[in-house]
């Protein structure tokens, strides 16, 4: 049995090779990208992979429905459910926060911290976060800082654009670009933040949001259709993706 996670070129090659049984797991961006900006060739390749699969899983109903919409017929599929390690992700004490704040971040615990933790790619809309942060700073007397995380693979040119945008907005000195930190320190980072901001224009199921929630950190998030299955009413502050004014007015 072959299990291919992320339905891309690898899944297509498995289909061409006739591998069976073939299990495919969609991660969200693979299927969403086919609909949002996929070429006809990419759509055909993805459809071929889906039709060759013995079973298909994904983390949201929206993605599963899009799989069937792409091939135009019912498929053998079901949801799988993400979990997080609650022995690791929980709200941390002030003493634990002090281990990270001075050493890793160089900021005071009295500083209000806004954390935008998603990977630096255009669809995560960090540009909108920067614009909203500028507006928040303009009307607030509280010392605050915005943290962006540099991890995984991401377009360096986009990071450069964001840095230039921050300078043009006059907030360059108040944006902290955090390099990759140890996974075990992530719960402390979430706990340090006064609010986590997650406003992508498209997404699957963001495990980051669940981790932040486990650490009892308030979350402002895009009100995406993909999120409706797990965003309980009142548990998150929701805004329309791309709405700078709405984001700037949020006060969780």
Q: How far is CA 163 from the centre of its chain?
A: 20
Comparing 46-60, 148-162, 219-233, the range with the smallest average pLDDT is 219-233
For the domain with range 2-79, which CATH number is right: 3.50.50.60, 2.60.40.10, 3.30.360.10, 3.40.50.2000? 3.40.50.2000
Say if CB 84 and CB 214 are below 8 A apart: yes
Q: pTM (2 decimals)?
A: 0.77
Residues 156 and 140: their CA atoms lie apart, in Å, by 32
The domains spanning 2-79 and 94-249 adopt the same CATH topology: yes
Residue 220 has pLDDT above 60, yes or no: yes
pLDDT at 100 over 70: no
Q: How far apart are CA 113 and CA 42, in angstroms?
A: 41
CA 38 to CA 201: how far, in whole Å? 16
Domain boundaries, the chain: 2-79, 94-249
Q: What is the pLDDT of residues 155-214, one digit of tens each?
A: 899 999 999 999 999 999 999 998 888 888 899 999 989 999 999 998 887 889 989 999
> Which of left, alpha, beta for 197 (phi over 0: left; psi -120 to 50: alpha)?
beta
CATH of domain 94-249: 3.40.50.2000
Q: What is the DSSP letter of 236?
A: S
């Amino acid at each position: 049995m072959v299990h291919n996670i992320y339905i891309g070129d690898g899944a297509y090659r498995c289909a061409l090779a006739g591998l069976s049984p073939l299990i495919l797991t969609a991660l969200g961006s693979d299927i969403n990208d086919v609909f949002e900006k996929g070429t006809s060739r990419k759509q055909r390749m993805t459809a071929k992979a889906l039709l060759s699969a013995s079973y298909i899983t994904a983390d949201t109903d929206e993605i599963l429905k899009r799989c069937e919409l792409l091939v135009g017929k019912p498929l053998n599929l079901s949801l799988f459910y993400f979990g997080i390690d609650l022995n690791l992700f929980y709200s941390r004490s002030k003493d634990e926060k002090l281990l990270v704040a001075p050493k890793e971040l160089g900021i005071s615990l009295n500083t209000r911290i806004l954390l935008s933790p998603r990977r630096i790619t255009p669809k995560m809309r960090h540009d909108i976060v920067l614009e909203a942060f500028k507006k928040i700073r303009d009307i607030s007397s509280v010392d605050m800082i915005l943290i962006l995380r540099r991890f995984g693979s991401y377009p360096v040119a986009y990071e450069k654009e964001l840095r230039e945008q921050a300078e043009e907005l006059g907030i360059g000195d108040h944006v902290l670009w955090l390099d990759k930190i140890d996974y075990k320190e992530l719960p402390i980072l979430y706990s340090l933040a006064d609010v986590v901001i997650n406003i992508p224009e498209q997404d699957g199921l963001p495990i980051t949001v669940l981790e932040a929630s486990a650490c009892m950190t308030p979350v402002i998030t895009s009100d995406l259709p993909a999120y409706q299955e797990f965003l309980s009413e009142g548990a998150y502050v929701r805004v329309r993706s791309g709405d700078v004014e709405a984001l700037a007015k949020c006060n969780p």
